[in-house]
Structure 1
Amino acid sequence: MKISAFKPQEIIISPSILAADFANLAPEVKSAYEADAQFLHLDVMDGQFVPNISFGPGVISKLKPHSKALFDAHLMICHPQNYIEEFAKSGCDHVTFHIESDCNAQEVIDQIHSHGMSAGLTLKPGTPIESILPYVDKVEMVLIMTVEPGFGGQSFMHDMVERISIVRKLADEINPNLHIQVDGGINKETSKIVREAGANVLVAGTAFFRHPEGMSTAKIDLSS
């Protein structure tokens, strides 16, 4: 699946498997797709770039046969340039990496594209938004973090909303097809806030996988 199949006016839910039942990942990702989650968010952490360790291409490749969703990888790793090919082979359709990573951002974007994947760029809440603005017309998605990356279940940082509006305005001028993704503390209430600011791809972990009324209701709550 290609991100170009989706319009930036569409509201897309990308459930983060960090909140899924790791003892039953395959059934969980299958159920997420059946609940009409178009993307599946894969938080990859190396224990160095952020203080947590999650999973890598091996796990992703095992999950790929269980979902037809777009595999949306968020690399929170120090040297993304060393692993792009492996994530392509694992079945990722899209790769987002951090501007703070130890790499040449344009070279990594080109590398991602060379493997047939769409590229995204993101930054930590404390990094100036100006650092990613030169690449808004070079990528298919910009991810705005509304928590500090590394752990799920954190509270939404309202002061990050302005970043969404800044990127949306710039995208409207130079890259109208850009998707703006938001990750961190997304629930029924905050989803409205970020959508009004211009975001269209919403990463939700706890609010999706652990919704008391099930994933289908979570999808409705987050996108309406």
Structure 2
Amino acid sequence: MKVAPSILSADFGNLQRDIEEICNSGCDLVHVDVMDGHFVPNLTIGPVVISAIAKAATKPLDIHLMVENNSFFVDLFAPLKPEYISFHIEEEKHPHRLIQKIRSYGIKPAIVLNPNSRPEELEYLLEFLDMVLLMSVNPGFGGQSFIDTVIPKAKKLDAMRNEINQNCLIEVDGGVSDKNIHLLKDAGVDVVVAGSYVFKHENRQTAIESLQI
């Protein structure tokens, strides 16, 4: 299991320190939540701060767009060369076009499904994706409780990708901890995003390692 700590739960007064610590503690990706205050009721960070994050991080960035006007934000963040850029299917009218745009930048495209969205919506897009991110909380804020209906959803998506695109990873974001990591692993999940569990743990390396099962 790969682990992508979400910097949404980091100490923004000591952001460089926190990013360096999770990278030195063995995380696989650094998850960056971009929120515009429109698609979700929260506003986070822009390219200036993410550029600083990219300089501090020794692990690849995993940028999660929770925004309107996805194409604009892809153009904004592509120069930072993250490993992944993910966008919400609920907000995008032309997902295939946006997937192509992300890949044209040399970045791996990913699509996000909210808790109420169905994996079947991706049937004709899955072959073009490098990753699908399943939200196990409602997007917008950290520290929420895990929505366990993501488990059967992950199993369904795992069956779909085995038929359509075995190289597509499954990522889960929200309420992840050592209490549910084995359920996620058994459901076919490859990557977990963990914010509060990692950054509020007394030993962040121990927290990360407990998820890398």
* TM-score, normalised via structure 2 length: 0.97
Farther off after superposition, 131-140 or 177-186: 131-140
Q: Over residues 91-136 of structure 1, what are the superposed CA-to-partner deviations in whole Å (9 max), with x where a residue is unaligned?
A: 3221000001143100110000001100000121122332223211
- Paired position in structure 1 for 2:57: 67
Share of identical aligned residues, percent? 35
- Paired position in structure 2 for 1:36: 26
Q: Is residue 171–residue 191 contact of structure 2 (8 Å, CA) maintained in 1? A: yes
Q: What letter matches 1:157 in structure 2? A: I
- Paired position in structure 1 for 2:154: 164
The reply to whether residue 218 of structure 1 matches residue 207 of structure 2 is yes
Q: Is residue 81–residue 107 contact of structure 2 (8 Å, CA) maintained in 1? A: no
- Give matches, 1:1-224, under 5 Å: 11-212=1-202, 214-224=203-213
Q: Distance in 2 between matches of 1:40 and 1:51?
A: 23
Q: Is residue 136–residue 148 contact of structure 2 (8 Å, CA) maintained in 1? A: yes
Q: Is residue 125–residue 148 contact of structure 1 (8 Å, CA) maintained in 2? A: yes
Q: What letter matches 1:43 in structure 2? A: D
- Count of matched residue positions in the alignment of Structure 1 and Structure 2: 213
Structure 2: segments with no counterpart, 5+ residues: none
Q: Is residue 81–residue 103 contact of structure 1 (8 Å, CA) maintained in 2? A: no
Q: What is the aligned-residue RMSD (CA, Å)? A: 1.1
Q: Distance in 2 between matches of 1:117 and 1:209?
A: 27
Q: Secondary structure at the match of 2:116?
A: coil
Q: Distance in 2 between matches of 1:22 and 1:77?
A: 21
How much does 1:210 deviate? 1.2
Deviating above 3 A after TM superposition, structure 1's stretches of 4 or more consecutive aligned residues are: none
Q: What letter matches 1:92 in structure 2? A: P
